[in-house]
Chain A
Amino acid sequence: MSGLYSSPSHSLLEEALSFGEADDAVYLSSSRPKAALPSGGGGGGGGSGTVVLIEDCVETNGGFILHHLIKRALSPNRPSDVVVFVSFAHPFSHYDRILRKMGCNLSGHRENKRFIYHDMLSMNSPGSVRDGIEATDDLLMTLYGKIQKAVELYSSPEGSKHVTIMIDDISLMEVAVNGLSNHVVDFLHYCYSLTTQFGCSMIILNHEDIYSSLEQLSPLLHLEYLANVVIKAEPLATGLATDVHGQLTVFNKGICRRNGKSKSKIRNFQFRVKENKVEFFYPGSQT
């Protein structure tokens, strides 16, 4: 890679997730002075009350964005951030190994209570085929209870931490509750109310292609409505390439709080996933 493009490529996602401090000084900075950190702002756990939705498809896994945002939230220059992670997709060891390669010690953060992990993968497995609907109803209730407790604990004046709730992923949550999408939507609304009440943020992964052929209202629409930032991971429109793994579309609704103006922006760029990082670059700028 040429040195010319390496520096902007590093911050493309960051830039897309937030309005740069220069061009919009009011964005969230009034409510959180700490958001003035170089990587602060909109999405991945910096701004209070933000909801980030990651949409992916079978061909392109969006998990790497989640890893990137975990690392960002737990980075050393954000000592007051806590991540509550709900995983339906992978065991802890999977995330631990990936984040270790990225230079983030997840086990360490878990011990320090900065990374609170809820393993929904193994929890629900025994007898889940047999259990009726009552059991599934319970599942989301207890999960919400746990999240609420954590958020209340860390967001309280004594804790004064910024909590980010992450869910991987919603489609599996639907399967876990036997397809009762209403329950999932309710759960998400409860979590959303936490973000407004306590100023925590939420990062959610979902698969877009599942709902593309669905005619009725899908949970995805609800999510898109709630979200401040929508990140879409897609395969490259022009076909396969060795050094480009796909493209990202970041739609930032960017709420502007002063004088009631709102401004949104769309950024489009490509990415390449590596073991220890993800490279972002504009189309054609990769050599």
Chain B
Amino acid sequence: MAAIKSRTSSFSRNVSTVSKTNVPGLKHGPNGTTFLSSGIADLDKILGGGFSLGSLVMIMEDPEAPHHMLLLRNFMSQGLVHKQPLLYASPAKEPRGFLGTLPNPVTSRDEKSRERDAEQEKNLRIAWQYKKYFGEQNQESQKDEKAAEYCNDFDLRKPLDRQTLSGQNISCVSLQESSDLATLHDHCSKLLAQFPRHEGEIISAGRISIQSLCAPQCDYSDKEWHLLRFIRSLKSLLRYSNAVAVVTFPPSLLSPTVLKRWQHLADTLLSVKAVPDEDKELAKLLTGYQDMLGLLNVHKVARFNTQVLHHSDCTISSCFISWESSLSRKLVSYCQNWMMPLYLFCFFIFFHLIFLSFHAEM
């Protein structure tokens, strides 16, 4: 592990000297990259610090469960907390309504929450046996969080304050509005034009979240090359700007060839899957199976300016990570080594995140 962590080249920049930026919500990473938070502290850790600026994050939806919405909500809320301009597109007729379901950050740590924390500690007894996988980075990032609030905790039961929402630079686009993708493309390029990439200081960053890009209710859902060109164009626009786009899509609606193309176009590729209710084999394997909600796989992590994955967690074989909501309040995770023959064919990075009990309304 230590060998992986240490930098193998004398040319790489010493990260510790440049690890702080003045801009809240942004963090320097290795190889001249900058991270912004996904809104879930543990997902950030797994990805090595968060989503890299300029990356296209794609999430493969589960056709039967809306878990991808959780990731989108946290991603968007985190951006609004940091006052980062946001573009949200969805196939719904009134996409603005989705903003009402964004979770509120947990701000004051009152008595009650401390109590809850204690309880949570107890719940996570097994989880923390695997604390070693986070190691020093955990402590470091905790410090970071306190200093700049790089990543907030979100209370999934409370909707975002109107105060936080008002006066923000949010634009909402309905994917049904137009018959081609040009409108959406214009919106994206308009937002991204605010954050051109220059050498030197980054002042702010933007977030784009597109939900169910190839949803069948849109006119262009069958024009696979149009969609591909849109994604490619979005990807290249992103690469030259300081923003992150999260795009979710239902993979079952794409033909296998096109699906592979989409996966290749993604810089960071995740997928969510619901945990089946009565899976006895899985129940035997997982602690707290009853409370789990879903699995999240990390298939690919953005590799900018490098050919190696820096984060040690990503290079150690397969990890098993689960999310828990302590009394349905927030999403946390733990990491477990996952060396099951069943998954041995799943090569490369294979992380699972499990959403644990989560009673809040979706």
Contact = CB atoms under 8 A, between A and B. Distances in A.
B348 A91 contact: no
A98 B224 CA distance: 33
Given A124-B236, A242-B316, A276-B8, A178 B225 contact: yes
Contacts of B257: 210-211, 213-214
Interface of A is mostly: loop
Interface in A228-255: 235-236, 238-242, 246
A209 B349 CA distance: 18
A85 to B, nearest CB: 16
Interface stretch (A47-55, A108-116, A169-177, A259-267): A169-177
A217 interface: no
B347 A59 contact: yes
Interface stretch (A15-23, A61-69, A141-149, A192-200): A61-69
Contact of B189 (A63, A126, A179, A275): A126
B331 interface: no
Interface of A: 58-61, 63-64, 67, 90-91, 93-94, 97-98, 100-101, 121-122, 124-126, 128-130, 171-172, 175-176, 178-179, 207, 209-214, 235-236, 238-242, 246, 273-276
Interface in B224-238: 224-226, 228-230, 232-233, 236-237
B317 A275 contact: no
Contacts of B181: 129
A64 to B, nearest CB: 5
Given A58-B263, A175-B228, A175-B229, A97 B31 contact: yes
Nearest to A88: B232
- Of A130, A175, A209, A236, most buried by chain B (CB within 10 Å of CB) is A175
Contacts of A67: 307
B154 interface: no
Interface string B305-322: 111100000011110000
Given A129-B182, A176-B232, A239-B317, 15 more contacts: A58-B269, A98-B306, A121-B236, A128-B232, A129-B233, A130-B185, A176-B229, A178-B225, A207-B261, A210-B257, A213-B257, A235-B347, A239-B345, A239-B346, A275-B11
Nearest to A96: B305
Nearest to A123: B236
B16 interface: no
Interface stretch (B142-150, B272-280, B296-304): B296-304
Contacts of A101: 9, 11-12, 306
Contacts of B32: 93, 97
The residue among A90, A101, A122, A176 with the most chain B CB atoms within 10 A of its own CB is: A101
Contacts of B31: 97
Contact of A125 (B11, B233, B304, B308): B233
A103 to B, nearest CB: 8
B297 to A, nearest CB: 12
A50 B225 CA distance: 32
B33 to A, nearest CB: 10
Contacts of A124: 233, 236
A212 B32 CA distance: 36
Interface of B: 4, 7-9, 11-12, 31-32, 180-182, 185, 189, 224-226, 228-230, 232-233, 236-237, 239-240, 255-257, 260-261, 263-265, 269, 299-300, 303-308, 315-318, 343-350
B188 to A, nearest CB: 10
B8 A274 contact: yes
A240 B349 CA distance: 8
B307 A275 contact: yes
A98 B305 contact: yes
Contacts of A63: 307
Given A207-B264, A240-B317, A275 B7 contact: yes
Nearest to B230: A129
Nearest to A238: B344
B344 A239 contact: yes
B185 to A, nearest CB: 5
19 contacts: A58-B299, A59-B299, A60-B348, A122-B236, A122-B239, A124-B233, A125-B233, A128-B229, A171-B264, A176-B229, A213-B260, A235-B348, A239-B317, A239-B318, A239-B344, A242-B4, A242-B317, A275-B7, A275-B12
Contacts of B264: 58, 171, 207, 210
A61 B303 contact: yes
A69 to B, nearest CB: 13
Contacts of B7: 275
A213 B259 CA distance: 11
A210 B261 contact: yes
Contact of B260 (A90, A207, A274): A207
Nearest to B256: A213
Nearest to A240: B317
A125 B237 contact: yes
B233 A275 contact: no
